[in-house]
Structure 1
Amino acid sequence: MGWLRALKVTARTGMTVERTRLEPLVALRATLGLAIVIGGSLALLGPGAAASSAFGAFMAAIATFQQSWRPRPVLALASGLTLAVSTFVGYLVGSSHTVLFLALLAVWTFAAGMTWAAGPTAGIIASGNVAIVLVTVTLPTSVPQAAGHAAMIAVGGVVQALLIVVFPVRRWGAQRDALADALAAEADYARRLREDPVAPFDPEPLMRARAAATVTPRQARRRPVELHGARGLAERIRPVLASLADPAVGADAEGPGRERVRELLAAAGAVLDSAAHAIRHGEAVVLPAPSLAILKSPDTADLLTGAPLRAARRLAALLDDVLETAQPGSGRTADPGESMLRPTLPRLAPLVLKAVRAELRPGSPVLRHALRLTAVACAGLAIGRALPLGHAYWAPMASVMVMRPDFSQTYSRAVARFCGTLAGVAVATGIVQLVHPGTYLSGFLAVVSAGLMYVLMRTGYAVAQLFVSAYVVFLLGMGGVGWDQTVPDRVALTLVGGLLAMIGYAVYPAWETPRLRTRLADWIAADGRYAAAVLSQYADPAGARRSDVREALLAARDARVAWQDALDRAAGEPVRHRGLSRAAADDAGDALAALGRHAMLLEAHFPDRAHDPVPGAAALAHALRTATEAGAKEVREWRVPCWDGVRTVLAEWDAPRPGVLRGAAEQLLESLDEVSEALRP
């Protein structure tokens, strides 16, 4: 799309208010922490210390709302302590010399930009650290005062962490939701398979559940039993559902067998929904008796034979395991040795440094973001100081808080921040003009504004900024700063900062569109490795490692999600990829999804360890792995991939292979041909 349309789309996105599930109790707890910090600081130390501690408590609470599987107290402490360090270092350097402060700002901003290599939560916390560096030099007047301000900011983070420990709200709630969503997605998939035997399945809920199930050693010892094991069962249920429904390897497309398959799929959906509800709410599973009767019915053996019957029995056994695992209150906890372990924060530091070093290369979107962020922040501070306005730091702060590594988020957040700021300061100014609040009433209004922001934060960035702007007006009013000294400056400098962020991205972009072929090639190679790993199980049932299939499947899922994310980001960019149209990209993606599905069907019918090697499976696995690696290289080089190696192996088969191998192999080749057809000029 062109620039004008891209700007319209991003502006509309930035101003969108989403309907989402709110968390009022969590917001109330965060607001209580902020109120305790502001009230205590006002009573004991005065407005200046209250403003400092408020910043720490405010940002620490925001950190706990981010999409992270880390314990919430850890996020609050990490935010508060890093803000305290940034405050003290910022004053030590900023109070001595302007040039040194600019150098510190450049270093801090570049480090914050590179922190996005460790994930969005780390990047958002790091952005808050840049903001406090900008604000720091305006608060204290001596080194002891700077240390005091830093200590108060740290106290704000500690208070928020303690409140989370003392007043837990829906303990393990995020992990429960992730696992329940995965089971609910499986249930929906089972119901869709009744009408469409080759219906697609989005693996994102399973990937999210896997991320949620990766815990620290301490969490593994405390995790409820119903959160341990059900995710692995859901992973194994999916291929069984697909193999039961697909006429190529399951029951006939019509007839009594197909009707029984539809009944089994409906029953599986009902059982999975019951397990999902129980896990989400920590309740006992309410078993749907008619569904269980269908799954246990002896008539199934009369209506189904062979592979469909084995799939039906396997499905019933797996659902029994899901129901048993989903029952709470058994007293069993996870063995840390059996869990997928997440490193603790001290052990995470080397991994973060490794991720950052990996992004220090030409063409890295994260490196481009860090350089762009650094240049815009320094330019914003210089422009802010050159303008005849106070609070020059608001311009670079606005830039830092809206800039993201991709185009759409940066532009939509810039628009949302300015509009939200304009509305927020207008509302807050009207209240100030009508009420003329004193110190304590201003503090109370600031806490109320922050509480409303916590409640509505996930409805949209513009809504959040409305209440953040009101919060800032009341917080500064608490310290005796009049609205007429802050509102015009804040609005003008927020506009400057947003425009600088947008100009910075336009001048030094990191477009996703030109990288689409690389993302597609990565998915081709990953899908090929997964299919080859599955075929290797047929080639050597006794010696092949099942873990190789699992690792290849996870890599294929990661490549698929990376491709889809890239495609979504590219759709909003004002650039065209001349070698890959949107239609071609969609067709190639559908073909690769089908390729993965065919491999999954083969996975559902693995031979036993004692089974003899299937003739031709080893040659086909080797040909498939070699062809997809070569095909990925051809896609990167803007050529149409060729699959002659796989075609030759199939042509040499002079008789049908046993089981489902022959049909699945032909389907794999058909999917590869569809990829080539989609990429053909």
Structure 2
Amino acid sequence: MSWLRALKDTARSAVTVERTRLEPLVAARAAVGLALVIGAGLVFLGPGAAASSAFGAFQAAIATFQRSWRPRPVLALASGVTLAVSTFVGYLVGASHTAAFLALLAVWTFLAGLAWAAGPTAGIIASGNVAIMLVTVTLPTSVAQAAGHAAMIAAGGVVQALLIVLFPIRRWGSQRDALADALAAEADYARRLRHEPRAAFDPQPLMTARAAATLTPRQARRRPAELHGARGLAERIRPVLASLADPAVGVPAEGPARDRVRELLAAAGTALDAAARAIRHGEEVRLPGPALGVLRAPDTGELLTGAPRRAALRLAALLDDVLETAAPGSGRTASPEDSLVRPTLPRLVPLALRAVRAELRSDSPILRHAVRLSAVSSAGYVIGHALPFGHAYWAPMASVMVMRPDFGQTYSRAVARFAGTLAGVALATGVVQLLQPGRYLSGLLAVVSAFLMYTLMRTGYAVSQVFVSAYVVFLLGMGGTRWDQTVPDRVALTLVGGVLAMVGYALYPAWETPRLRTRLADWTAADGRYAAAVLRRYADPSGARRAEVREALLAVRATRIAWREAVARAAGEPVRHRGLSRDAAERAGDALARLGRDAMILEAHLPDRDAPPVPGAAALAEALAGSAERAAREIRERRVPDWEPVRAALAACAAAGHPVFLEGAGQLVTDLDRLSAALES
């Protein structure tokens, strides 16, 4: 893609308004917290302290809107406290020495960039805190005032946390949505399998549900009963659905048995949708009678026999468990594999430091982002002071807020921030000229702007920036700053900050396109380990290898999602493919998705623990594992993998006498050949 095309695409995406489910009650609660802080600050401490506390409450509320599974009060407190510390330290360093503050800014932004190693939520909160700190350090005039302002900022975070605790809105809502989305995705998958027996399934909803089910010990004690166990059942339903529908190991493509399978899949979709609806809204499960009747008689006489009949019976039993678990107050307890423990914040610190150390390498996108962020914010601060404007901090603030580790988000956010700033300051200017608001009316207008921003922030970055810009104008106007002293400076310096961010990425990029082969190699190796782990279960049915298979499956999902995200980012980058064209990437990804699916079907038909070992399965597993690791190296080196050892091991299994195993293993080899064919093009 050319630079011109890439810039046009990012600009278009920047101003796109997304349709999403709004949460006005949550936004109203955040705005009420902001109003309480501003009102108390104006009445008791004056406009300066009110502005500081308002920034703390504002940023703390934004932190609670991030996609995180930690308790919202914890996020609000963490944001408020870290912003307070940043403000106090920033004032101490920068009160008398601009050069010292510039050095602190470089270090602070570098650390904020590295915070992305701990996850997007940590990165967003750290970047936001640095940006707000650039404003709040200008408000105090003495060390004592700086300490007071820092305390007020922290108090703003405390107020938001208390409101969340005292007035909970849709408690456990994000966890309910994640689990319901996973069940609904499987319902859609079941319906698609009726007409496309080898349909693909996106594992992202299951991965999201797993992340949502990973809780701190305190959360685990308070989790509603209907959120226990259903995710583990959903994990086990997916391979059963695939194996029931696949003609290779199930019923023929047409005939009475296939019609019965279609009925079962339709009933499964209805049951999963009913469970998803009940979990999402915390209500009783309502399953239509016809679907219930189909599930109670899954085999219908002699229509289904052998492996399809076992899959149908297994599906009916799993769906019955899901429906029972989804009922509020079901009393079901989590299975061992559903008990996922998330570390508390103190225990998260060493894990975060370990993640940061892992990114301290020259080819790390996170390290490049940290270096870029530090250099651009420092340059913006210097340029802002050199230009004949006031409020020089707006240039580095704009850069910090728009920069992200990838090209697409950085460029689209730069365009969105400038467009949103223009619209926001124009709106705020018109309101100020019309109403001539005083101190208290300006505070009220700031609260209204914040409420609109909280409500609409998930519809697009440009939309949220309209109300952020208005919020800042009204908030500074509350302290006596006239609009004509802020609007021209803000527009010009926002443009400078956005341009610096875009130039910084162009000069020191972290392109995803050259790393596509590495991502593909990682997925190939993970797929090979998973398939080999499944084959080892056939070689030793009584062996305790269930944990190995499960861990390998999770690794496959993680590498598959990483590959998909990398392909999406690379599609918008203005660089050549460097050895892996878009068509080759698509066909290679399809081959690996099929490989994972066929290994999953083999897992669904694992023999009982007392069954005899399948001859040749162990040799096939070792050949596949070794060939997959070797293939990963060859893919990184731009060579085409050869699967002859796997084919030879499969030929030695011809007399195994296990039709499902032989059919599934043959499909695995076919998928591997598809991968090599894709890489030859």
Using structure 1 for the length normalisation, give the TM-score: 0.99
How far apart in 1 are the matches of 2:312 and 2:329? 30
User: 1:339 Cα deviation (Å)?
Assistant: 1.6
The residue number in structure 1 matching 2:456 is 456
How far apart in 1 are the matches of 2:116 and 2:654? 54
User: 1:98 Cα deviation (Å)?
Assistant: 1.6
Cα–Cα, structure 1 residues 638 and 220, in superposed 2: closer, same or farther, change >3 Å?
same
The aligned runs of 1:202-281 (5 Å cut-off) are: 202-281=202-281
Instruction: Read off the aligned partner of 2:680 and give its amino acid letter.
Output: R
The residue number in structure 1 matching 2:172 is 172
3-state DSSP class of the match of 1:645?
A: helix
Q: Does 1:40 align with 2:40?
A: yes
Q: Does 1:585 align with 2:594?
A: no
Q: Deviations over 1:98-135 (max 9, x none)?
A: 22111111111100000000111100110122123322
3-state DSSP class of the match of 1:303?
A: coil
3-state DSSP class of the match of 2:10?
A: helix
Q: Does 1:531 align with 2:552?
A: no
How far apart in 1 are the matches of 2:594 and 2:299? 33
How far apart in 2 are the matches of 1:333 and 1:322? 12
Q: Deviations over 1:164-216 (max 9, x none)?
A: 00000000000000000000011110000000110110010000000000000
User: 1:137 Cα deviation (Å)?
Assistant: 3.2
How far apart in 1 are the matches of 2:298 and 2:449? 62
- Do the aligned partners of 1:220 and 1:334 also contact (CA within 8 Å) in 2? no
User: 1:333 Cα deviation (Å)?
Assistant: 6.1
The residue number in structure 2 matching 1:341 is 341
How far apart in 2 are the matches of 1:558 and 1:454? 31
The residue number in structure 2 matching 1:159 is 159
Cα–Cα, structure 1 residues 673 and 240, in superposed 2: closer, same or farther, change >3 Å?
same
- Do the aligned partners of 2:76 and 2:157 also contact (CA within 8 Å) in 1? yes
- Do the aligned partners of 1:88 and 1:147 also contact (CA within 8 Å) in 2? yes
User: 1:332 Cα deviation (Å)?
Assistant: 5.8
The residue number in structure 2 matching 1:423 is 423
How far apart in 2 are the matches of 1:408 and 1:272? 36
User: 1:301 Cα deviation (Å)?
Assistant: 3.5
The aligned runs of 1:331-410 (5 Å cut-off) are: 339-410=339-410
The residue number in structure 2 matching 1:468 is 468
Instruction: Read off the aligned partner of 2:374 and give its amino acid letter.
Output: T
How far apart in 2 are the matches of 1:66 and 1:537? 41
Structure 1 gap ranges (5+)? none
How far apart in 1 are the matches of 2:339 and 2:649? 41
Report how many residues are paired.
681
- Do the aligned partners of 1:111 and 1:370 also contact (CA within 8 Å) in 2? yes
- Do the aligned partners of 1:90 and 1:136 also contact (CA within 8 Å) in 2? no
The residue number in structure 1 matching 2:562 is 562
Q: Does 1:596 align with 2:596?
A: yes
- Do the aligned partners of 1:54 and 1:156 also contact (CA within 8 Å) in 2? yes
Q: Deviations over 1:431-482 (max 9, x none)?
A: 1011100000000000000000000000000000000000011111100000
How far apart in 2 are the matches of 1:334 and 1:237? 17
- Do the aligned partners of 2:80 and 2:156 also contact (CA within 8 Å) in 1? yes
User: 1:666 Cα deviation (Å)?
Assistant: 1.1
- Do the aligned partners of 1:87 and 1:133 also contact (CA within 8 Å) in 2? yes
Structure 2 gap ranges (5+)? none
User: 1:657 Cα deviation (Å)?
Assistant: 3.5
Cα–Cα, structure 1 residues 298 and 79, in superposed 2: closer, same or farther, change >3 Å?
closer
How far apart in 1 are the matches of 2:292 and 2:179? 22
How far apart in 2 are the matches of 1:581 and 1:525? 21
User: 1:543 Cα deviation (Å)?
Assistant: 1.3
Instruction: Read off the aligned partner of 1:222 and give its amino acid letter.
Output: R
User: 1:306 Cα deviation (Å)?
Assistant: 0.2
Instruction: Read off the aligned partner of 1:190 and give its amino acid letter.
Output: A
My pick for the range that moved more, 649-658 or 312-321, is: 649-658
User: 1:503 Cα deviation (Å)?
Assistant: 0.2
How far apart in 2 are the matches of 1:114 and 1:301? 62
Instruction: Read off the aligned partner of 2:318 and give its amino acid letter.
Output: L
3-state DSSP class of the match of 1:251?
A: coil
Cα–Cα, structure 1 residues 37 and 298, in superposed 2: closer, same or farther, change >3 Å?
closer
- Do the aligned partners of 2:615 and 2:656 also contact (CA within 8 Å) in 1? no
- Do the aligned partners of 1:221 and 1:334 also contact (CA within 8 Å) in 2? no
The residue number in structure 2 matching 1:489 is 489
How far apart in 2 are the matches of 1:118 and 1:301? 55
3-state DSSP class of the match of 2:248?
A: coil
Instruction: Read off the aligned partner of 2:543 and give its amino acid letter.
Output: G
The residue number in structure 2 matching 1:510 is 510
User: 1:651 Cα deviation (Å)?
Assistant: 2.6
Instruction: Read off the aligned partner of 2:517 and give its amino acid letter.
Output: R
3-state DSSP class of the match of 2:351?
A: helix
Q: Does 1:543 align with 2:543?
A: yes
- Do the aligned partners of 1:398 and 1:497 also contact (CA within 8 Å) in 2? yes
How far apart in 2 are the matches of 1:191 and 1:525? 31
The residue number in structure 1 matching 2:132 is 132
User: 1:335 Cα deviation (Å)?
Assistant: 8.9
Using structure 2 for the length normalisation, give the TM-score: 0.99
3-state DSSP class of the match of 2:605?
A: coil
How far apart in 2 are the matches of 1:317 and 1:212? 25
The residue number in structure 2 matching 1:669 is 669
The residue number in structure 1 matching 2:633 is 633
How far apart in 2 are the matches of 1:33 and 1:276? 33
Q: Deviations over 1:287-331 (max 9, x none)?
A: 221111111127523211000000000000001100111110245
- Do the aligned partners of 2:298 and 2:316 also contact (CA within 8 Å) in 1? no
The residue number in structure 1 matching 2:9 is 9
The residue number in structure 1 matching 2:25 is 25
3-state DSSP class of the match of 1:301?
A: coil
User: 1:427 Cα deviation (Å)?
Assistant: 0.6
Cα–Cα, structure 1 residues 99 and 300, in superposed 2: closer, same or farther, change >3 Å?
same
Q: Deviations over 1:245-298 (max 9, x none)?
A: 001111111111111000000011111110000000000111221111111127
User: Quick one: percent identity of the two aligned structures?
Assistant: 78
How far apart in 2 are the matches of 1:108 and 1:223? 37
Cα–Cα, structure 1 residues 562 and 473, in superposed 2: closer, same or farther, change >3 Å?
same
Instruction: Read off the aligned partner of 1:286 and give its amino acid letter.
Output: R
- Do the aligned partners of 2:231 and 2:338 also contact (CA within 8 Å) in 1? no
User: 1:654 Cα deviation (Å)?
Assistant: 4.4
